Amino acid sequence: MEYIEKNSNFKMSIESFSKIISERWNADGDIIKNYIFSNISLCLSRNSQAKNDLERLYMADKLKYYNAFLNSSSLNYVLIMQATIEEQIWARKILGILLVAESDNNIRNKVIKLLKKYYPLVYESVKKRNKEKLKNKYIKMDIISRNIEARFDAAIYFYFATYISSEVVDQGFIISILNDIEEFEFSDLINRDFEEEIEKYKDEVQEIKLLLKMEYGKVFNIKDIFRHNNEKVRNCGEFLEDLFLSNKLNINYIFHDLDFINVDKIILSYVRVSKDKNLELLIQNIISGLFVQVLINEYKKMRDMYFKSSGEVLHYELNTLVEKLKIIEHENVNLKANIESLNKEKSLFDKNLNRELNKLENSHKQQMKIMEDKIKSLEKKLSEEMSIRSELESLREYELNLNEFENNYDLTRNLGDYINNKKVIIIGGDKEWRRRFRVKYPEIRTLNGFNENFDASVLNNSDYIFFYSKYMNHSTFHKAMNFIKFNKCNFGYIGKTNIELVEQEIIENISKYEEYVTKQ
């Protein structure tokens, strides 16, 4: 399979590469990202020298990194769970940094610099496309360490290859890494579904259960072992009990509420690795398995409990609340300043009002007459303003319902069919928009929405007048509206910028007017 497609216009990243491969494998979109980032995170969590650099980077914006890993599918990826609690704490931090680095070039450059510093052999292998030094490194290791280190180095190699050497890369090695990922994801025991495995080995599991039951009776939990009538079974349990006691742990307290353990899971592990049906060997493995399974269950519970209630979680939740409190306090300060400013304005206004009232009271009758005339003039203006406000309210209601109308547009309607032999004028809209509209519909006249000195006679004999209210001033609108009211012209509003949608708005308005006239 060819995994890498050459595309000069495509910017490769771990995340985008993961999506490409997942489509070909018909798997989760984060499959490659989870594997690569988890391995790099675990690798760095074991590097004591790198931790100081990582801690400084993390603490520079810890809330951002914390939110990044907390909301990522990589957080619960199976490889992350293979570390100790301490390593998982570090791995989560590193994972957050890697996730942020996917979209932040500055952080990514820092990550690459750090990886180059602590893994120079991997970096050199990528740049020179030569893995001999890495092979020499693995020769000196035992097989378990070699397998883990090789997986870590492969993940870092993949990261380098993606971000610093994507044009010239050892495609053979990249394909080998992808094959390893594919085998791990779809074939490794750790990723197999327990229910499917039980179904696959159900005959062998049932056979072992039957043999054990026939020879030893019921052995399904820890309590069954200690009250068993077979001395060998009890001795196995007592040995493990003694081992716990030697470590200052009493299993009667630790396992007090454990009445049932899924023994099928323990037998499954036995039949997958051994065909030996020796009953003594079987019972020893089952008893040991029961104890180990209990400890595994308790470890998982404690691990989950730690990460749910650890100081780190509480710390970041507290930090989040503190940040919100700071915002609220800042808004509160601004509100107080605004209130104080308004109170000063009110006080000044009250003083001016009292002074004017005193002047009015002491004025001559002639001055009173002048004031009365002014009041009449203001009342007239107020009436005009109220009229404008009414129109604006109508316009606001129109705009609120605009989206609903848009969904009902019949885009097959042609504006030309509706304005034939009609005089249509549009007031408002920027110059270029009006020009494009005139080019398409020369029979429609457009007016500048910011020219309150226009000759109102151009509106004479208009069949329809439309306002592009988002691009005009009040004076122009007011002048045109006075003409419309006096002459009882048909008018409407335009709320869209796109010419095709404007055409539909005009058609909608004209249709409603014509429908109304027809009903009359």
Q: If DSSP codes are grouped into helix, strand and coil, which group holds residue 445? A: strand
> Is pLDDT of 317 > 70?
no
How many domains does the chain divide into? 4
Instruction: To the nearest 10°, report the CA torsion of 407, 411, 413, 414.
Output: 130
Does residue 322 sit within a domain? Answer: no
492 beta partners: 466
- Domain limit, last residue, from 191, 226, 246: 191
pLDDT, position 464: 93
Based on the domain organization, do 43 and 178 belong to the same domain? yes
Does residue 321 sit within a domain? Answer: no
3-state DSSP of 142-164:
CHHHHHHHHHHHHHHHHHHHHHC
Based on the domain organization, do 286 and 272 belong to the same domain? yes
Using a 10 angstrom Cβ sphere, with 0-12 exposed, 13-18 middle and 19 or more buried, the burial of residue 270 is: buried
Report the amino acid identity of residue 111. Answer: V
In whole angstroms, give the CA distance from residue 64 to residue 60.
9
Based on the domain organization, do 40 and 164 belong to the same domain? yes
Q: pLDDT tier at 114 (50, 70, 90 boundaries)?
A: very high
Residues with Cβ < 8 Å from 316, sequence gap 6 or more? Answer: 62, 63, 66
**Mean pLDDT, to the nearest integer, of 136-145?**
86
- Domain limit, last residue, from 354, 376, 400: 400
pLDDT, position 238: 81
Tokens in use for 398? 């129109």
**Mean pLDDT, to the nearest integer, of 31-60?**
90
pLDDT tens figures, 194-243: 888 888 888 888 888 888 888 887 776 777 777 778 888 888 888 888 88
Q: pLDDT tier at 10 (50, 70, 90 boundaries)?
A: very low
Q: Residue 457 sits in which domain range?
A: 415-518
Percent of the chain residues topping a pLDDT of 90? 12
- Domain limit, last residue, from 175, 191, 207: 191
**Mean pLDDT, to the nearest integer, of 176-190?**
82
Does residue 315 sit within a domain? Answer: no
Based on the domain organization, do 241 and 267 belong to the same domain? yes
Q: If DSSP codes are grouped into helix, strand and coil, which group holds residue 218? A: coil
> Is pLDDT of 253 > 90?
no
**Mean pLDDT, to the nearest integer, of 129-153?**
85
Does residue 408 sit within a domain? Answer: no
Based on the domain organization, do 335 and 435 belong to the same domain? no
Based on the domain organization, do 165 and 36 belong to the same domain? yes
Task: Look up the CATH number of the domain holding residue 508.
Answer: 3.40.50.10700
Does residue 9 sit within a domain? Answer: no
Q: pLDDT tier at 110 (50, 70, 90 boundaries)?
A: very high
Based on the domain organization, do 436 and 450 belong to the same domain? yes
Using a 10 angstrom Cβ sphere, with 0-12 exposed, 13-18 middle and 19 or more buried, the burial of residue 371 is: middle
**Mean pLDDT, to the nearest integer, of 86-97?**
89
Based on the domain organization, do 184 and 217 belong to the same domain? no
> Is pLDDT of 302 > 70?
yes
Does residue 7 sit within a domain? Answer: no
Does residue 382 sit within a domain? Answer: yes
In whole angstroms, give the CA distance from residue 290 to residue 225.
10
pLDDT, position 466: 93
Element (H, E) at 466: strand 464-468
In whole angstroms, give the CA distance from residue 246 to residue 239.
11
Could you tell me if 448 and 471 are in contact, meaning their C-beta atoms sit under 8 angstroms apart? no
pLDDT tens figures, 13-41: 888 878 888 788 887 778 888 888 999 99
Q: pLDDT tier at 3 (50, 70, 90 boundaries)?
A: very low
Element (H, E) at 487: helix 474-487
Sheet order of strands, 444-447 included: 444-447, 424-428, 464-468, 491-493
Based on the domain organization, do 174 and 199 belong to the same domain? no
493 beta partners: 467
Does residue 314 sit within a domain? Answer: no
pLDDT, position 8: 39
Based on the domain organization, do 205 and 354 belong to the same domain? no
> Is pLDDT of 75 > 60?
yes
Chain mean pLDDT for the chain: 81
User: How crowded is the C-beta side of 389, counted as CA atoms within 13 Å?
Assistant: 6
Based on the domain organization, do 236 and 105 belong to the same domain? no
465 beta partners: 425, 491
Based on the domain organization, do 64 and 168 belong to the same domain? yes
> Is pLDDT of 252 > 50?
yes
